[in-house]
Structure 1
Amino acid sequence: MGTHRGGYDGFTFDVTDALRPSGDQELIVGVWDPMDPGPNPRGKQVRDPQDIWFSPVTGIWQTVWLEPAPVARIVSYKVTPDIDAGVVKLRVQTANAPEGTIAQVNVMKGSAVISWNRGPADQEITVPVPDALHWTPESPHLYDLGISLYSGVSELDEVRGYFGMRKISLKKDSQGIQRLALNNRIVFQIGPLDQGYWPDGLYTAPTDEALKFDIEMTKKFGFNMTRKHVKVEPERWYYWCDKLGLLVWQDMPNGVNSTGEWRTQFEVELARLIEGRYNHPSIITWVVFNEGWGQYDTVRVTNWAMSLDPSRLVNSASGWVDHGAGHMVDMHIYPGPSSPNPEPNRAAVLGEFGGIWAYAPNHVWLRSGYTYAVTQSFSEVTRGYEQMMNQVYTLRDNPGMSAAVYTEITDVETEQAGLMTYDRRIVKGDLNRIAAATKGKPLPTTGYVTILPTSEAGPTQWRFTYSTPPARWMKPEFNDSAWSTRNGAFGTPGGVVRTNWSTYNIWLRRDFFVDRPERLRFFLRLNHDEDVEVYINGRLALSEAGYNRAYDYYPITGNAANGINSGRNVLAIHCRNAGGNQFIDAGIVCRPAVSLTGSGEPLM
């Protein structure tokens, strides 16, 4: 029937002439993958995966299907919104259409047609979109499309689709700095690096719900953008970006590109990428090269990509080797952040930074992996992320950075720099604080009212035991009268430690009292070395491995927050130490109630 070369783009074959008149039919789709080094773009797939290079994907990793189609049919369409003119422009590509075939385009809101136009097939048709609602991450409005093909009064074919009224451009701010603008409004873009790998299917997600989950979590982390890194996803992933509202920087998967043949193949697949994913409003930037991997003829290839799609921005080279082409000047730094200087005709962006690591037991590909910034606990990840994001927003203001990409949304095999584990089950930090920092609005570190003081300002009295207590030791009704009573903090002598703790385990309890808890939002103030579990009235409020080096605030949310009573409450803590110095101290503070959601719990 035919052959196809390339591992990322869709293709079709007309099998009609090969079919038998009746009976069973056999269709064979065979795939050969030369792997690395080979002539095709491949992204991070290598024969010997390690560090930031991952397992290769061979065979058929996307959907294959067979469908009937009319002889004269719609093959594809290309939709380009123009918010300034209030129109959408379409070109309907056909096959075997008789001379004089007309394409009719209906713009719909649900089932209601709000505007339409018709014109010759395979030519541009302009349709007005009255009072257009613009597509944004906050309000990702999509219009439905109905496209019909007519020969005279006979309908030959029809397809349905959608589009968004969205514009991406450069725009100078009031200081004359070149910025990124969405729908003519300057928008700071902040997103994660997303490599699109899965522990069970590598390139292939287990379900459509899993694709959707990644995008939902990206938004929950406070991001408005994501950089799809040297991989092209199935159409459904982009559909969910369109539907849920997430800006996409789309990388071209890298190849070796060391020969003329290999470079030709790279450009063939780059053109297919731009043409094949053109209609998605979520995609706003094409990234041609990454960190010099297979980079060649940079200015020519970049200008050619810009000519293929004048409606979007083109990032010529993300990191390392810049030749002054494209719409952005892009740098990478680990851990960072930092920023290049904006240029008169190019916006300054930070294409990669971050990579804070903390070990998540039973949720890693390998115990020791590749990372960029090592921490000992999820709370350190949170604090480090907040510090980085504070710097990001400082760089936004000076020298005028327009976007930043944090590495990364999930761990991937041996690269363990994710905000989530590879299996997507654990957030490695406080989701609320991470989201607030991402938006440039970190949770405050001052202005709290103390309910139960820590030992920072003076001794605090605790009931405690070094012996394993009964299973209900954390419950308010548990009788702890046989436990010892001493002053905190507990740990290796020094600093605010007032009781020496040298065993592997310690269990502690302390009462606190609250009036009208529904008016308040509660936080733990906690310093621990090492693993800690914190309960309030018998309900788990926090479980964190490792140590956090310093006192920090943790929102009390969900079931634990709902269990705080008017009157007496019990704070109960179990801390474990595996060796070296040890420490435990905690208190409770509050602020006026605000809307927060839970974090640190299993997600899937």
Structure 2
Amino acid sequence: MRLSTTFVASLVVALVSAQGNGSYAVKTPPLTTPWTDEVGTNPWPEYPRPLMERANWQNLNGIWRYENASGLGAVSSPPFNQTLSQEVLIPSCLESGLSGIQATGAIASWFSTSFTVPSSWIGQHVLLNFGAVDYEATVFVNGRNATFHRGGFFEFTVDITNLLKNGTNDLLVFVHDPTDSEGVVIPVGKQTLNPSHIFYIPCSGIWQSVWIESAPANYITDLVLSAGMDGEVNVTVQTSGTAASPVEITVLERGSNVPVGSGSGTSNVAFQFAVDSPKLWSPASPNLYDVTVRVGSDTIKSYTGFRTFSKGPVDGIERPLVNGEFTFMFGTLDQGYWPDGIYTPPNREAMEYDLHVLKDLGFNMVRKHIKVEPALFYNACDEMGLLVIQDMPALPSSRKPDAAQQDEFERQLQILIKQHRSYPSIIAWVIYNEAWGQITDTYYPEFALTDLVRSLDPTRLIDATSGWADHGAGDFSDNHHYANPQCGTPFYSLASSPFDESRIGFQGEFGGIGHNVSIENLWGVQAAINTINQTYEIDENLEAWNYRGHVLLEELRQQVERFSCCGAVWTQTTDVEGEVNGLVTYDRRINRTDPVQWKADIQALYDAAASRSNATARLF
């Protein structure tokens, strides 16, 4: 399939139109979604961090100013008291149509806005929060350097109280994104300046929400919260003050605000308390409880779910256990890309649409693939009852890190765990995907990294090497194979490793069958369209595509019944750019699935798993 000359010409004009009169307007992306025109100029109005919510906050999302910077050295000459040349929508990726910029090669950028602190906050500390900035951010408030942050997927907070002035305050942010730069090996996921099939357009800039909030002098900086199926609640509350402070925590029935348990302890020290007979969280019954935490005059709201993730032998096979019972995990590879917003979904409704598609078909899990989502994504999974297997964003697939780059990868892996370990739905962490950026010639870093992750979060499973380059670390023996599965089986292909019966048999990726569509539903970039035939399999119509899906799920069901298959990941939730193997198209306008068939086939997987719970070991 080829695009018309007129379409390509108009697309090129849109892609290079970073110059103009500077006023914000959505630029026409290569493909829209049903929500593109609903974004407006006040995007993502929701409180961005539901695990640690403060009552007094102010959203800074909206129209900011933007200007391309001359290079990394530009940070030494900030454009204070200057009006940057263009308007930009925050949060957004500079490469997206929603940003109003649709830039290419955004290596260095300036962003600015202004804000006024509410008078009711006088006497309080003011905290400036960023959900995520890709990749490095240097933040200035009223002409003074406030902080520097490195890591494109993680939130950060800075206390700007001493930098504020009466009236209007100026916020200036320098962003450096070195994706694909010479010698650079950083966690990028699937971003590249030269997209091709399974590697996609990059995201640069402030792509998650920005907000300020007020807090007392001694305020809560972090909350680590987990609750087990036995009712025990484990809590650690970090505070800004150096002295130990009393902590009070209350667990409340969601919806009624009736207290069901409470505990007390000291800041910066872990403590425990118990809740009698809690309603357990599981994919079938995602029961959540609201939580209030108080330290002095600082109060935050949070929530938790009582559940225990573990592993153990069932039917003589090592299995993943949810609340002590073997739960077959079946989900999709979820890239989290949007044609109009790239990394940033148009709005919450759009983001949750993908999850509802999965839940409605009967999937009980999603593998968040080498990307980290906004906090509200995990909140939605908690509330819907979708288990999450969370990947660490990968280093570039073709590059290996030096010692300093490996140390930085490890530092950011720790941040991933620390910032997400309190979400009830996350069941497992993935350290490496298909050996991308994984050192394999001098030593095997996944062993030490598995120990590190386990020390930070002993409550979850660890998939050290999803796909291959598996040397025995972690809890999963994880196979990738297209299109048919090889899940916990006595057969495998050369790219993967033989099944290790001492670990959980898991199909980390399979499926990937494709179905082409008309240009109206495709990413309108000719280079991407040219790669469609790289899809593992192309089915000429939806009837054939659904039939092939049935055949592959039936093969998986037999592997659950006969062998040691304990879970699987279907590729994938949506099409992305030149990939046409999603359950839904990239624009989310076509759902390929026959829902009756898919629901029945997915339920058959769970039924086969249930039959193994009390069965004797079977041989092929």
Q: Give the TM-score normalised by structure 1.
A: 0.70
Give, as a single letter, the amino acid of the residue that structure 2 aligns with 1:364. L
Q: Tell me, what secondary structure is at the counterpart of 2:604?
A: coil
Contact 1:39-1:265 within 8 A present in 2 as well:
no
Q: Tell me, what secondary structure is at the counterpart of 2:199?
A: coil
CA distance in structure 1 between the aligned counterparts of 2:477 and 2:147, rounded to whole angstroms? 42
Deviates more, 1:127-136 or 1:405-414: 127-136
Q: Which residue of 2 aligns with 1:310?
A: 458
Q: Does 1:91 align with 2:232?
A: no
Q: Which residue of 1 aligns with 2:517?
A: 360
Give, as a single letter, the amino acid of the residue that structure 1 aligns with 2:291. L
Q: Which residue of 2 aligns with 1:347?
A: 504
Give, as a single letter, the amino acid of the residue that structure 2 aligns with 1:45. Q
CA distance in structure 1 between the aligned counterparts of 2:593 and 2:298, rounded to whole angstroms? 52
Q: CA deviation at 1:400?
A: 1.1
Q: Which residue of 1 aligns with 2:417?
A: 274
Q: How has the CA–CA distance of structure 1 residues 287 and 258 changed in structure 2, closer, same or farther, with 3 Å as cutoff?
A: same
One of 328, 333, 348 as aligned partner of 1:208:
348
Q: Tell me, what secondary structure is at the counterpart of 1:276?
A: helix
Q: Which residue of 1 aligns with 2:600?
A: 436
Q: Does 1:288 align with 2:431?
A: yes
Q: Does 1:192 align with 2:349?
A: no
Q: CA deviation at 1:367?
A: 4.3
One of 486, 489, 494 as aligned partner of 1:338:
486
Q: Which residue of 1 aligns with 2:290?
A: 144
Q: Tell me, what secondary structure is at the counterpart of 2:290?
A: strand
CA distance in structure 1 between the aligned counterparts of 2:562 and 2:178, rounded to whole angstroms? 47
Q: Does 1:373 align with 2:537?
A: yes
CA distance in structure 1 between the aligned counterparts of 2:425 and 2:215, rounded to whole angstroms? 29
Give, as a single letter, the amino acid of the residue that structure 1 aligns with 2:516. Y
One of 388, 396, 403 as aligned partner of 2:567:
403
Q: How has the CA–CA distance of structure 1 residues 42 and 367 changed in structure 2, closer, same or farther, with 3 Å as cutoff?
A: closer
CA distance in structure 1 between the aligned counterparts of 2:430 and 2:586, rounded to whole angstroms? 25
Contact 1:39-1:261 within 8 A present in 2 as well:
no
Deviations along 1:72-101, one digit per CA (max 9) or x if unpaired, are: 1111210122223x211111111126x452
Q: Tell me, what secondary structure is at the counterpart of 1:288?
A: strand
Q: Which residue of 2 aligns with 1:227?
A: 367
Give, as a single letter, the amino acid of the residue that structure 2 aligns with 1:35. T
CA distance in structure 1 between the aligned counterparts of 2:284 and 2:487, rounded to whole angstroms? 26
More helix by share: 2
Q: Which residue of 2 aligns with 1:329?
A: 477
Q: How has the CA–CA distance of structure 1 residues 100 and 264 changed in structure 2, closer, same or farther, with 3 Å as cutoff?
A: closer
Q: Tell me, what secondary structure is at the counterpart of 1:77?
A: strand
Q: CA deviation at 1:128?
A: 1.1
Q: Tell me, what secondary structure is at the counterpart of 1:25?
A: strand
Give, as a single letter, the amino acid of the residue that structure 2 aligns with 1:36. D
Contact 2:560-2:605 within 8 A present in 1 as well:
no
Q: Which residue of 2 aligns with 1:422?
A: 586
CA distance in structure 2 between the aligned counterparts of 1:8 and 1:80, rounded to whole angstroms? 23
Deviates more, 1:297-306 or 1:165-174: 297-306
Q: Which residue of 2 aligns with 1:460?
A: none
One of 35, 39, 46 as aligned partner of 2:192:
46
Q: CA deviation at 1:441?
A: 7.1
Structure 2 matches for 1:549-560, cutoff 5 A? none
One of 309, 330, 334 as aligned partner of 1:168:
309
Q: Which residue of 1 aligns with 2:168?
A: 24
Q: Which residue of 2 aligns with 1:448?
A: none
Structure 2 matches for 1:523-538, cutoff 5 A? none
The runs of 5 or more residues in structure 1 that have no matched partner are 151-155, 443-604
CA distance in structure 1 between the aligned counterparts of 2:554 and 2:583, rounded to whole angstroms? 17
Q: Tell me, what secondary structure is at the counterpart of 1:27?
A: strand
Q: CA deviation at 1:126?
A: 1.4
Contact 2:535-2:580 within 8 A present in 1 as well:
yes
Give, as a single letter, the amino acid of the residue that structure 2 aligns with 1:89. N
Q: How has the CA–CA distance of structure 1 residues 226 and 441 changed in structure 2, closer, same or farther, with 3 Å as cutoff?
A: closer
CA distance in structure 2 between the aligned counterparts of 1:281 and 1:416, rounded to whole angstroms? 32
Give, as a single letter, the amino acid of the residue that structure 1 aligns with 2:411. V
Contact 2:553-2:601 within 8 A present in 1 as well:
yes
Q: Which residue of 2 aligns with 1:121?
A: 267
Q: Which residue of 2 aligns with 1:3?
A: 148
Runs (4+) off by over 6 Å = none
Contact 1:137-1:244 within 8 A present in 2 as well:
yes
CA distance in structure 1 between the aligned counterparts of 2:219 and 2:147, rounded to whole angstroms? 21
Give the alignment's Cα RMSD to 1 decimal: 1.5
Q: Tell me, what secondary structure is at the counterpart of 2:176?
A: coil
Contact 2:516-2:538 within 8 A present in 1 as well:
no
CA distance in structure 1 between the aligned counterparts of 2:158 and 2:404, rounded to whole angstroms? 25
Q: Which residue of 2 aligns with 1:592?
A: none
Q: How has the CA–CA distance of structure 1 residues 100 and 6 changed in structure 2, closer, same or farther, with 3 Å as cutoff?
A: closer
Q: CA deviation at 1:309?
A: 1.1
Contact 1:105-1:127 within 8 A present in 2 as well:
no
CA distance in structure 1 between the aligned counterparts of 2:456 and 2:222, rounded to whole angstroms? 17
CA distance in structure 2 between the aligned counterparts of 1:287 and 1:377, rounded to whole angstroms? 35
Q: CA deviation at 1:432?
A: 2.1
CA distance in structure 2 between the aligned counterparts of 1:177 and 1:161, rounded to whole angstroms? 37
Give, as a single letter, the amino acid of the residue that structure 2 aligns with 1:309. D
Q: Which residue of 2 aligns with 1:15?
A: 160
Q: CA deviation at 1:343?
A: 3.7
Q: Which residue of 1 aligns with 2:25?
A: none
Deviations along 1:216-257, one digit per CA (max 9) or x if unpaired, are: 111112211111000000000000000011001000011144
CA distance in structure 2 between the aligned counterparts of 1:376 and 1:19, rounded to whole angstroms? 61
Deviations along 1:392-414, one digit per CA (max 9) or x if unpaired, are: 11111222110111100100011
One of 369, 377, 399 as aligned partner of 1:237:
377
Q: Tell me, what secondary structure is at the counterpart of 2:430?
A: strand
Deviations along 1:51-85, one digit per CA (max 9) or x if unpaired, are: 1100010111111112222111111210122223x
Contact 1:303-1:325 within 8 A present in 2 as well:
no
Deviations along 1:162-193, one digit per CA (max 9) or x if unpaired, are: 0011111112112x111111110001111110
Deviations along 1:495-534, one digit per CA (max 9) or x if unpaired, are: xxxxxxxxxxxxxxxxxxxxxxxxxxxxxxxxxxxxxxxx
CA distance in structure 1 between the aligned counterparts of 2:160 and 2:267, rounded to whole angstroms? 24
Q: How has the CA–CA distance of structure 1 residues 306 and 101 changed in structure 2, closer, same or farther, with 3 Å as cutoff?
A: closer
Q: CA deviation at 1:380?
A: 0.8
CA distance in structure 1 between the aligned counterparts of 2:541 and 2:603, rounded to whole angstroms? 23
Contact 1:360-1:428 within 8 A present in 2 as well:
no
Q: CA deviation at 1:135?
A: 0.5
Q: CA deviation at 1:345?
A: 3.2
CA distance in structure 2 between the aligned counterparts of 1:73 and 1:299, rounded to whole angstroms? 37
Q: Which residue of 1 aligns with 2:257?
A: 111
Q: Tell me, what secondary structure is at the counterpart of 1:413?
A: coil
CA distance in structure 1 between the aligned counterparts of 2:362 and 2:545, rounded to whole angstroms? 16
CA distance in structure 2 between the aligned counterparts of 1:337 and 1:116, rounded to whole angstroms? 47
Deviations along 1:541-570, one digit per CA (max 9) or x if unpaired, are: xxxxxxxxxxxxxxxxxxxxxxxxxxxxxx
CA distance in structure 2 between the aligned counterparts of 1:90 and 1:55, rounded to whole angstroms? 40
**Greater RCO (Cα-Cα under 8 Å, separation 6 or more):** 2
Structure 2 matches for 1:454-533, cutoff 5 A? none
The runs of 5 or more residues in structure 2 that have no matched partner are 1-145, 440-444, 490-498, 607-620
Q: CA deviation at 1:344?
A: 4.6
Q: Tell me, what secondary structure is at the counterpart of 2:362?
A: coil
Report the structure number with the largest CA radius of gyration: 1
Q: CA deviation at 1:149?
A: 1.2
Identity of matched residues, %: 37
Q: CA deviation at 1:158?
A: 0.5
Q: Which residue of 2 aligns with 1:320?
A: 468
